[in-house]
Each structure stands twice: as C-alpha cells, then as structure tokens.
Amino acid sequence: MRSTVIVFGGTGGIGAATVELAIGRGFDVVLTYADQAEDGIAAALCDRLGGCGAMVQQLRADITREDNIGLVFDRAKSSKSQLAGVVNCVGIDCTKRVAAELDAAELRRLFDINTIGTMLVCKHAAQAMLPRHGGTGGAIVNVSSMAVTIGGRSGSAAYAASKAAVDIFTVGTAKELASQGIRVNCVRPAMTLTPATLPYAKDPISSADIVRTIPMGRMARAEEIAAPILWLLSPEASFVTGACLDVSGGGFLVGMNRVDGISPGIAS
C-alpha cells in the first residue's frame, strides 16, 4: 500500500519544498493552503508534481477552524493510502511590534495560527494514526523557528513565544504518543529564503544584518529545511522523537567580537 503525507501550508517556501521532496521519495501528498489567493499556486504545483506518478491533492483549509482540519484528514483517508506523516508548515509573523506596542487582536491571530492550529493538527494526526482508531502509527513534524532560542529579533518576541510553545508541545506530545508508534518532532529553521522573507532578502541592509548572525554566512534554502523534515518522517529516524532539530547554519552569532574577518552579530 502507498503512503500519504499531509503537508499543512504546502504552497509556501518550506511547505512546497517539502511537498516536492515527499513526492520524490514516493509518497502521495495532501497539501493545504490558506486562501483563495493561493488557488492557482496549489493547482499549478499539483499539476506539475502529479506527472511524477504520485497522487497529489490540494485543499484550502483555515488552520484556525477545527472542522477544516478534520476535512483534510478525511481527504487523506479517501485516498485509500496509509497515512504515514503529517507536517505543520503553517505560520505567520504579526506586524513588527515591540512589547510596549503589542496589539491584542494581532496576538490572538498569531497564536491561533502558529500555536493552537498546530496543536489541533497534532490532535487529528494522533487520532488518525492511533492503532485503536485503525492507524498504524506514523510521524508528525512541526516547523518551529530558531527565533525561540534568542527570543526573536527586535519586534518579534511574540512570534518567538508562539513558536516556543510549539517546541514544548512537541516534546510533551511525543512522550504521550511514543508507546503508540507515533513519533513527534520539530525542526527549527534559521531565516530561510521563501516568498514571505523575500522583502528582507532583497533589502541590502536587512539582508546583511541577518546574514551576519548566521555562522555559515547565508540564509537557508527551502529545500535545506525540507530534507531534515523528510528524514524525520522516514524509518531512518525511527528512534527519534521529542527532538527539536536546529537547521540553522550554526545557530546565532550574537554580540561576538570580529575575529578572522567575521563581523559581529546582532541581537535583533
């Protein structure tokens, strides 16, 4: 029987790269996207990857609505393919605001998507994978952020907090589900080149400031994040659960003195 991977947020940079790599590894894929503006992107991605011989299905879903999440898992079941993995790539960053300027409505939306949405996806994934519900186990991978390790760059403390909650939830859920054959892990990317980060990458000053904080001296490519995600889904990671894997180019250079031509890092 073929195996299916569900990728929530499958049209974005990391999500789309994960979908493409999963197809290349022989999985069928159900991918989700957020709104009508992404209809064309999802259709084009499915058309292109469907030619590889796999089944690729797209579904618009609001991760803040549990009924939408349930429909995604129903779609996966209808494929008559065994659910093997679920990847949470959905995430937003609210308007850059320092603590003294935080907005309650923005915070609710941020946590509804980044934190509560991820938790609800894990809930439905666990239900689908539990042996007592007819599942055969599987793997869940949540996409967090290296921002949690420094509290976020300036104006992103709330974003970092929403992702830190994902880290803790990943570890706790992994302990709950380990005996049932379900592994739960997360990856923490550094700044990655995606459509969402393109404004930073195109701005010479912002780009230089970011790159100075990454020991490898560049931003990540989306496929460099997708590869460890697929590894965590694979049997090669069969004894890995409750892990937060830094995919960071070496972490952060913060407050370091210039040594051997390396510029000081920034704390923002």
Phi-psi region of 222 (alpha: psi -120 to 50; beta: other; left: phi over 0): alpha
Q: What is the CATH number of the domain that holds 125?
A: 3.40.50.720
| 255: in domain | no
- Domain of 155 in residue numbering reads as 3-193+221-247
CA atoms within 13 A on the CB side of 102: 14
| 201: in domain | no
Within 10 angstroms of residue 78's Cβ, the number of other Cβ atoms is 10
Residue 136 tokens, joined: 């055969």
Domain count, the chain: 1
| 185: in domain | yes
Active site residue 200: no
Task: Considering only CA atoms, give the Rg of the chain.
Answer: 18
Report yes or no: 201 and 207 within 8 Å, Cβ to Cβ. yes
| 257: in domain | no
Say what the pLDDT of residue 255 is. Answer: 53
Amino acid type, 238: S
| 142: in domain | yes
Amino acid type, 233: L
| 256: in domain | no
**Could you tell me the pTM of the whole model?**
0.91
Say what the pLDDT of residue 53 is. Answer: 66
- pLDDT one digit per residue (tens) for the chain, 268 residues: 789 999 999 988 999 999 999 999 999 999 999 887 777 888 888 888 776 667 888 899 999 999 999 999 998 888 778 999 999 999 988 777 888 899 999 999 999 999 999 999 999 999 999 998 888 999 999 999 999 999 988 888 999 999 999 999 999 999 999 999 999 999 999 999 888 888 888 888 888 988 999 999 999 999 999 999 999 999 999 999 999 999 999 988 875 433 333 333 333 3
The full length of the chain comes to: 268
- The SS3 assignment for 232 reads helix
Report yes or no: 235 and 178 within 8 Å, Cβ to Cβ. no
Q: Where are the alpha helices (DSSP H) in the chain?
A: 13-24, 39-50, 66-78, 104-111, 117-129, 157-177, 198-202, 204-212, 222-233
In this structure, is the dihedral angle defined by the CA atoms of residues 85, 118, 60 and 12, taken in order, positive or negative?
negative
How far from each other are the two terminal CA atoms of the chain, in whole angstroms?
Answer: 48
Within 10 angstroms of residue 46's Cβ, the number of other Cβ atoms is 19
Cα separation, 140 vs 88, whole angstroms: 8
Cα separation, 34 vs 29, whole angstroms: 17
Instruction: Say which of 159, 191, 229, 241 is annotated catalytic.
Output: 159
| 167: in domain | yes
Q: Which residue has the tokens 């869940």?
A: 140
